[in-house]
Structure 1
Amino acid sequence: MGSRVGIIGATGLVGEEMLRLLAERNFPVDELRVYASARSEGRALPFAGGEVLCEVLRDGCFDGLDLVIVDVDDPIAIEWAPVAAAAGAQVVDNSAAFRMYDDVPLVVAEVNPEDLDELPRSIAACPNCTTMVLVTALAPLHRVAGIDRLVVSTYQSVSGAGQSGIYELDAQWAERAGDLTSLRRAAAIDGVIVPGKVWSKPIAGNVIPLAGSVQESGYTSEEWKLVYETRKILHDDSIRVSATCVRVPVYVGHAMTANVSFHSAMDRARAAEILATAPGVLLVDGGDGAPTPLDGAGIDPVLVGRLRDDPSQANTLDLWVTGDNLRKGAALNAVQMAELLIARR
């Protein structure tokens, strides 16, 4: 028996990926409704060899649905996710709106699926894309030895900022095509370092060490998400986390370096053994590989490489993790959560 499914935000980068994944994974859909802004009303989106027409959010639009997946900005999610739940649907929310609510589980499908057993609000949340990629790789190690401290630097693609991020990178690359001199001497030439619409500095040929809005103690919203979401997913508020999030001129795929200290014995050999069979993880060349965001773009697993013992202290590892931020970082996890919810009926 199939399900009646709704997707809010179907025309965005993640929404498009979600439609593709529902078809690829043969998700049991009896009825599909897709919702977008008024300018997209009536737009036909490809799905499973056919098409589905966009609707706008309105009173009664969720009536009869079993499941609603949400991928929109927080204010829209805050307004409409509870409406969908009140209409009788279970809601999987990709926004940040409900992640830290005590009565809303924050779930990575391979890590803590059991948290879906109780849904007091009929809402379950997906983590931030960076947290999702990292925790998929770290959770199997945490189960064995317990993470004490985690120091992370992220390298986040422009698609994390949506279509506008991709357009800005495209436009800047096109503007500077063949203009090596400007990029080599940018600080010495007027008019090279100018704000864009998305970022305050050029992203093409550059890295911007500021992802998200600046908040408490000078850390950004993206950095605090890594702190609090990691603890909630792993059910361990004692984990010490320090993060620096950087935007890089890559279209798809978030990557990160992690220095991870454990409470119990852990070394490279043991970590490689664990990660080699971890769900959702591909250990590249036994941990010696150097996977790039391109290597992970368009596929499901999180890729792990550069696995090393930290020579400066015991029970501490250095590793590199990368994964498709639109796929595992968002759409895939939401679809996996939907599959888990259906299996619980």
Structure 2
Amino acid sequence: MGYKVAVVGATGNVGREMMDILSERGFPADEVVALASSRSKGKEVSYGDKTLKCQVLDHYDFSDVDFCLMSAGGTLSKEWSPKIAATGCIVIDNSSQWRYDERIPLIVPEVNAHVLDEWVKKKDRINIIANPNCSTAQLLVALKPLHDKATIKRIVVSTYQSVSGGGKAAMDELFHQTRAVFVADPIENNIFTKRIAFNVIPHIDSFMDDGSTKEEWKVVAETKKMLDPKIKVTCTAVRVPVFVSHAEAVNIEFENPLSADEARDILREAPGCLVIDKREDGGYITPVEAAGEDATYISRIREDPTLENGLNIWVVSDNLRKGAALNTVQIAETLVNKGLVKPRSDA
């Protein structure tokens, strides 16, 4: 028997990607259920060659569901994830609600899948697994194999994040503002604090007391939780007028020597990574090429002459896939492939 999977928030950007990825990767599901709020009841979403009608979350019985892929925001997750988890269903949550809870594992399978081996053995475990922030997920896929080889001491990250990280309304705002520029219409800001069309905004999420934004803090906290608490991290997160895919310029300081050639060879063999690094015109990846793809792309690998053991890299990935939907499905796949979760229908 296969698994039963529920996708909460199935009508959103990430929810739709989850449905697509479950089908594309052939996840062993006998049944997939699309769930949303009451206002989306009956709305149709695609799952492979099938069309599913959304059911209402409030009235759904999770007693026979194996995995709930949650992509409906932190407020809803705070209310519903514990209720769903209490039924025995494993919730894999894409919001920030549970990422920093010490009881909840925060997982990128290429980075720390081993954490799940111990988690499933806990008799008092909470059946919730957190998905990291989109910018952190792709960053750590690239950093983990380098950290294993030479031990990272410090990283300086500058992110160039697409508007899809802010949801459909943010994508619509970029579209409408861009069109308004060309036809000389008034430009309205509803989602962003400043105009996003033909502009960049060094402000994602709310400001904190130290001057950092919450988005920048997430990168720091999640890197320490998943990779190594001893790594020093500083980040500047910037929203750019790109629809899909986040890019990151990363400066890395290692404890031990690591040449650009060695790093390139390591990353070529690393899971989830794809190196495109030719020192010629166009010999690198950009957000447009990464959109719709599963890989975390690494380009511009070069030594930093200002540090004793320093490298610079350029990291690009589709934030709706590896940064959200794909990573969520991969967590479920990891639990299945390791034999850590059996279908409840078998019992």
TM range (shorter): over 0.9
Q: Which residue of 1 is the match for residue 310 of structure 2?
A: 316
Gaps spanning 5+ residues in structure 1: where?
A: 180-190
Q: What amino acid maps onto 2:312 in structure 1? A: D
- SS of 2:251's equivalent in the other structure is strand
Let me know the Cα RMSD of the aligned residues.
1.5
Give how far 1:73 is off.
Answer: 1.1
Give how far 1:146 is off.
Answer: 1.1
Q: Which residue of 2 is the match for residue 31 of structure 1?
A: 31
- SS of 1:218's equivalent in the other structure is coil
Listed as ranges, the matches of 1:11-160 within 5 Å are: 11-58=11-58, 60-117=60-117, 118-119=119-120, 120-160=125-165
Asked whether 1:282 is paired with 2:274, we answer yes
Q: Which residue of 2 is the match for residue 331 of structure 1?
A: 325
- SS of 2:314's equivalent in the other structure is strand
Q: Which residue of 1 is the match for residue 199 of structure 2?
A: 206
- SS of 2:78's equivalent in the other structure is helix
2:136–2:219 CA contact under 8 A, matched in 1: yes
Asked whether 1:266 is paired with 2:258, we answer yes
Q: Which residue of 2 is the match for residue 187 of structure 1?
A: none
Show structure 1 runs of 4+ deviating over 6 A: none
Looking at structure 2, the residues matched to 164 and 20 of structure 1 have their Cα atoms a distance apart, in angstroms, of 21
1:116–1:124 CA contact under 8 A, matched in 2: no
Give how far 1:55 is off.
Answer: 1.3
Gaps spanning 5+ residues in structure 2: where?
A: 342-347
2:295 to 301, 310, 331: 301
Looking at structure 1, the residues matched to 159 and 277 of structure 2 have their Cα atoms a distance apart, in angstroms, of 22
Deviates more, 1:242-251 or 1:30-39: 30-39
Listed as ranges, the matches of 1:155-170 within 5 Å are: 155-170=160-175
Number of residue equivalences: 332
Q: Which residue of 1 is the match for residue 344 of structure 2?
A: none
Looking at structure 2, the residues matched to 137 and 286 of structure 1 have their Cα atoms a distance apart, in angstroms, of 18
Give how far 1:312 is off.
Answer: 0.8
1:121-178: per-residue Cα shift (whole Å, max 9, x none)? 1111110000001111011101111110100100000000000111000100111126
Q: 1:287 to 1:335 in 2, by over 3 A?
A: farther
Please give the TM-score of this superposition, normalised by the length of structure 2. Answer: 0.92
Give how far 1:222 is off.
Answer: 0.5
1:272–1:286 CA contact under 8 A, matched in 2: no
- SS of 1:306's equivalent in the other structure is strand
Give how far 1:48 is off.
Answer: 2.0
Give how far 1:216 is off.
Answer: 2.9
1:280-308: per-residue Cα shift (whole Å, max 9, x none)? 00010368732100111101101100111
- SS of 2:155's equivalent in the other structure is strand
